[in-house]
Structure 1
């Protein structure tokens, strides 16, 4: 059974217009994820871009990705990502066993990340896997104009905090059967830890893009 990569990239974006085709270095944002998938041909059999936008479609085809035209009915701001993934699976004839979700807004990934994550996924027969990063910040809530610590006690050293982790969006691996059930991250999903500066890049607004461009030229 095949393992395919799906890159959802709709046209609408309010905080950063035309987000998925903004240039990052010499390439549109979307293309960084397409090339990453293509560099892992030993794992990924086919690369699909799901989009409702003609300009995105042209760019994806230019870089040899397959394009699935996403209907307007599942392209709204509030539509969950899994809907696009499920639509791709329902639109192709390939016998797909696993889906690798690559978000265009997370363009930087450590070179060996997919190789290492996929080996963990296969060796342990997980039904899904997603990347997380450890957070070393001191979090709290503000109630009635007072700050209430959430994950620490006032005066506690940062290095003594109980570890907290966040979903960083670098990649997701899920069995296709789960996608058909509208699930990307299952209850038993394995959290694959990635503590790398690339995990801090998630482009949703102009400041995020500026930071990504800074890292691109720096790294």
Structure 2
């Protein structure tokens, strides 16, 4: 049975035009996730890019990925990512595909061994999906009728004493293919893999995010 990687990369992006092909660290943003998947070829059998954009398609093919042309009907701003994943499985012969690794092009920086370690955990447990999370260290609140109401703390509480809360950092997801066909990426039996790393804070959606990613990358290269 196969494990495939899917990288959704549609063309439409309002806050950063042509976001998925912006140059980052000398390469198109999309290319970083393709290369990352290629470094895990010991268990990833095929790499697919789902796109509705001609330029993205050219870059994906240039870097060695297979391309599935995504129809406009599932390429809108409000369409969930799982629609693209399901479409890929429907477009290929997926009868022998057991696992799907989702890598988002907007997360170009990932710890080198994260995917291999995550896949080992996923296989060794009785899990049918896995996703990466990071702990929140901020104090959140709501503003209701003009008044601030703390959400995850009490006024005066130290941040180090906060009850642990976590967020999806988007670094990677692994899911059984049959769940994808049921429009599920994170199942009730999913393993939340905690990742405490500077890369977990990089998710490019705005130019400010892109600048931050470049800063983090430059800091990493300075340490080499």
> TM-score interval w.r.t. the shorter chain?
over 0.9
The CA distance in 1 between the partners of 2:126 and 2:160, in whole Å, is: 34
The superposition leaves residues 3-38 of structure 1 with CA deviations (integer Å, 9 ceiling, x where unpaired) of: 000000000000110000000011000000000000
Give the aligned CA root-mean-square deviation in angstroms: 0.8
The CA distance in 2 between the partners of 1:139 and 1:164, in whole Å, is: 11
**What TM-score does the superposition give when structure 2 sets the normalisation length?**
0.96
Is 1:148 the counterpart of 2:172 in the alignment?
no
Is the contact made by 1:134 and 1:163 (CA closer than 8 Å) also made in structure 2? yes
Residue-pair matches, total: 219
The CA distance in 1 between the partners of 2:216 and 2:191, in whole Å, is: 29
**Unpaired segments of 5 or more residues in structure 2?**
none
1:81 is matched with 81
The CA distance in 2 between the partners of 1:153 and 1:75, in whole Å, is: 42
- Matched residue SS, 2:184: coil
1:92 is matched with 92
1:172 is matched with 173
The superposition leaves residues 46-105 of structure 1 with CA deviations (integer Å, 9 ceiling, x where unpaired) of: 100000000000000000100000011111111110010001001111410000000000
- Matched residue SS, 1:79: coil
Q: CA deviation at 1:125?
A: 2.6
**What TM-score does the superposition give when structure 1 sets the normalisation length?**
0.98
1:17 is matched with 17
List structure 1 segments (4+ residues) > 2 angstroms apart after TM superposition: none
The superposition leaves residues 124-159 of structure 1 with CA deviations (integer Å, 9 ceiling, x where unpaired) of: 031111000001111111122221111111111111
- Matched residue SS, 1:5: strand
